[in-house]
Structure 1
Amino acid sequence: MLTFKEIAETVGVVIDGAGVVAICAGLVVAVTRYAMQGRRVEDGFRQLRQDLGRGILLGLEFLVAADIIRTVAVTPTLGGVLVLGVIVVIRTFLSMALQVELEGHWPWQRKPEEVPPT
């Protein structure tokens, strides 16, 4: 019979795999889309970068979730939680940086066109 730790570790590995698949699928979709229409569209390269960024952001969310599951459910030690904290901070910074790159503003700011005129 499987123990809770074994199940949690398996779930963590599956979610890690989903994160890697999301990043790879995002890459394939972005490159395919660019190859089919990128040169005909005025800002095709920008669209390629945005598509890649979206795939990476989705993959990072899965990877953070897997780290949380494995750290909290499998090895709840102080050292493990500290390592998880550092990983989450780094991945959160990467996610925010990618979001700023994609959308052109910080998540807590209004979109440029939503700013009321002065």
Structure 2
Amino acid sequence: MEFGTAITRVGEIIDILGVVAIVVGVLYSLIDAAVRRLRRTGPVYARFRRTLGRGILIGLELLVAADIIRTVAVTPTIESVTVLALIVIIRTFLSWSLEVEISGRWPWQKARAGDGGEDASAPTGPEAERV
């Protein structure tokens, strides 16, 4: 098997993983929402949107990676790179939009205390000065 064919196959596998990630994210979100609704535990709609958005984000990241692998490694023509650039721009915009929907802030902004972000566990106020 030649290099170009192998890379194309790898790109196709990552494409499939991206689609599977989106499908699994949708199914998980639906099942989670149904269970939460039946048990009447916690916010159903907000959590559904958050988990669905995360599944879509993971899938988009994998699809972009597959496009990059196939375009750069197999057919690096100016036309294919231009198409790749447009695809990446569109998918990046979608990813940022989903991130804003999920977390309520842009990806480059620091998380606010209590919003569930990575920085939410960092001490604030007087505790932060002692650390």
TM-score, normalised by the number of residues in structure 1 = 0.92
Structure 2: which 5+ runs fail to align? Answer: 114-119, 126-131
Distance in 1 between the 2:110 and 2:4 partners?
43
Offset at residue 107 of structure 1 (A): 1.2
Distance in 2 between the 1:74 and 1:50 partners?
36
Structure 1: which 5+ runs fail to align? Answer: none
Contact 2:36–2:42 at 8 Å: present in 1 too?
no
Matched positions, count: 115
SS at match of 1:98: helix
How do 1:9-28 and structure 2 match up within 5 A? 9-28=8-27
Contact 1:16–1:63 at 8 Å: present in 2 too?
yes
Larger Cα Rg: Structure 1 or Structure 2? Answer: 2
Distance in 1 between the 2:15 and 2:37 partners?
31
Match of 2:72 in 1: 72
Match of 2:102 in 1: 102
Contact 1:5–1:74 at 8 Å: present in 2 too?
yes
How do 1:1-118 and structure 2 match up within 5 A? 2-38=1-37, 40-113=40-113
Contact 1:34–1:45 at 8 Å: present in 2 too?
yes
Distance in 1 between the 2:69 and 2:48 partners?
32
- AA paired with 1:57? L
Question: Structure 1 runs of 4+ off > 6 angstroms?
Answer: none
Identity %: 50
Distance in 2 between the 1:97 and 1:57 partners?
10
SS at match of 1:112: coil
Higher normalized contact order (CA 8 Å, seq sep 6+, divided by chain length):
1
Distance in 2 between the 1:66 and 1:38 partners?
36
